[in-house]
Amino acid sequence: MICSKAHAPSWNILNHPNKQLDVIPVLNRKLLRWYQRQGRDLPWRSTSDPYHILVSEIMLQQTQVERVKTKFPHWLQRYPTMHSLARSTPGAVLRAWQGMGYNRRALQLHACAVQLVERFQGDIPRDYSTLRSLPGIGPYTSNAILCFAFNIRVVVIDVNVTRVLSRIFHRQHTESDRLGAQQVAELGRACLPRRAYRNWTHALMDLGALVCTARSPRCRECPVRNECASCSILKPLPKTVASEPRTVPRRIHRGRIVELLRLRHRASFSDLGKHLKRDFTRADHEWLADILESLFRDNMIAVTNGRRVLSLPDSLSEIVTLDFTLPD
């Protein structure tokens, strides 16, 4: 058992909607009080600057919060405004992104800045459909920008919010019992307070990150344990057993190539091959060429000096048709 309570609440908000008015106000008050005392102090939460919010949300995609906390102020020092980012080059942006992983996000952020300057003079639009038309901006990021930058009352649901709402309102014995995305969205809309919705969203995110964690929820510390339908019945996830080493994923090789070009600026085909494989031979040429072609399609590398030397694209003019000759 995760929680020491004798029994979990028998009600389920999905089956008993008349309970909403009784439970939600109490739940929200407890969440907001907890957030005031225990919420994380994150730099992007102390601003409503739309550009800062955009940068933070792109950075937070698939990256741990602590790493983003370190990179965020350095990025804003390098690119303090939307216009300064738009004026930069893909190669410079990739270098500034060092340490964040998933390098495609950096190029999408740059492309987004270019479009915003061209279409909206650097301003970020306040409507969902226009935000969704921008590079790298999906449904979650669109709603996050609307809520955190413009204080618009919309539901912002990430993995932590999904976990917390599902556990509170649905009797979960295991993680496989989690509610579906549409049900969680309906719950979010039902619970969203009329005023403090920005802090309420942050409270759910922090509760999921700090207390109601995926693997080992700490129910004794939870401020809404008395309202939670899963408190005494949710079983912790079993410990994962280390699997046999697998083939290195393609994205890892792509990341290593970009990292080498950040450090050396220029590298030959053979240099890259030996960087990825100590025993790199001609038999690996087609494999490496295929990886390089994928990077080129994503505008992450450029080919110069007679199409034999590769680099990060420091100007759009360097992004030409990839047709280098494989070395003998």
CATH code of residue 305: 1.10.10.10
Instruction: Give the Cα separation of 56 and 67 in Å (integer).
Output: 11
78 and 141, same domain (yes or no)? yes
Q: Look at residue 197 in the predicted model and tell me its pLDDT.
A: 95
Q: Look at residue 325 in the predicted model and tell me its pLDDT.
A: 44
270 and 286, same domain (yes or no)? yes
Instruction: Give the Cα separation of 109 and 141 in Å (integer).
Output: 12
Q: Is 264 inside a domain boundary?
A: yes
Residue 29, Cβ density class (10 Å: 0-12 exposed, 13-18 middle, ≥19 buried): middle
Q: Is 5 inside a domain boundary?
A: no
CA distances from 161 to 36, 156, 293 (A): 18, 8, 38
The backbone region for 253, taken as left when phi is positive above 0, alpha when psi lies in -120 to 50, beta otherwise, is alpha
**266-268 sheet: strands from edge to edge:** 266-268, 309-311, 302-304
**CATH code of the domain containing 29:** 1.10.1670.10
Q: Look at residue 308 in the predicted model and tell me its pLDDT.
A: 65
Domain that holds residue 23: 17-41+155-227
Token digits for 13?
């908000």
Q: Look at residue 189 in the predicted model and tell me its pLDDT.
A: 94
**CATH code of the domain containing 109:** 1.10.340.30
Helical ranges in the chain per DSSP H: 20-38, 50-60, 65-78, 82-87, 90-96, 104-120, 128-132, 139-150, 159-169, 181-191, 197-210, 250-264, 269-276, 285-297
Q: Look at residue 94 in the predicted model and tell me its pLDDT.
A: 94
Q: Is 302 inside a domain boundary?
A: yes
Instruction: Give the Cα separation of 274 and 288 in Å (integer).
Output: 10
* Helix, coil or strand: residue 257: helix
Q: Is 3 inside a domain boundary?
A: no
Instruction: Give the Cα separation of 58 and 241 in Å (integer).
Output: 32
Q: Is 326 inside a domain boundary?
A: no
Residue 217, Cβ density class (10 Å: 0-12 exposed, 13-18 middle, ≥19 buried): buried
Q: State the virtual CA torsion across 139, 142, 145, 148 in degrees, nearest 10.
A: -40
Q: Is 305 inside a domain boundary?
A: yes
Domain end (from 128, 150, 172): 150
Does this model's pTM top 0.75? My answer is yes
137 and 88, same domain (yes or no)? yes
Query: What is the residue-level pLDDT of the chain in tens, covering all 328 positions?
Result: 344 444 444 445 555 444 545 789 999 999 999 999 999 999 999 999 999 999 999 999 989 999 999 999 999 999 999 999 999 999 999 999 999 999 999 999 999 999 999 999 999 999 999 999 999 999 999 999 999 999 999 999 999 999 999 999 988 888 888 899 999 999 999 999 999 999 999 999 999 999 999 988 999 999 999 999 999 888 877 776 656 556 888 889 999 999 988 888 788 888 888 889 888 888 888 999 899 988 988 888 887 765 568 888 875 444 334 444 444 4
Active site amino acids: 57
Task: Say how many domains are in the chain.
Answer: 3
Q: Look at residue 175 in the predicted model and tell me its pLDDT.
A: 84
Domain end (from 116, 150, 184): 150
Residue 127, Cβ density class (10 Å: 0-12 exposed, 13-18 middle, ≥19 buried): exposed
124 and 166, same domain (yes or no)? no
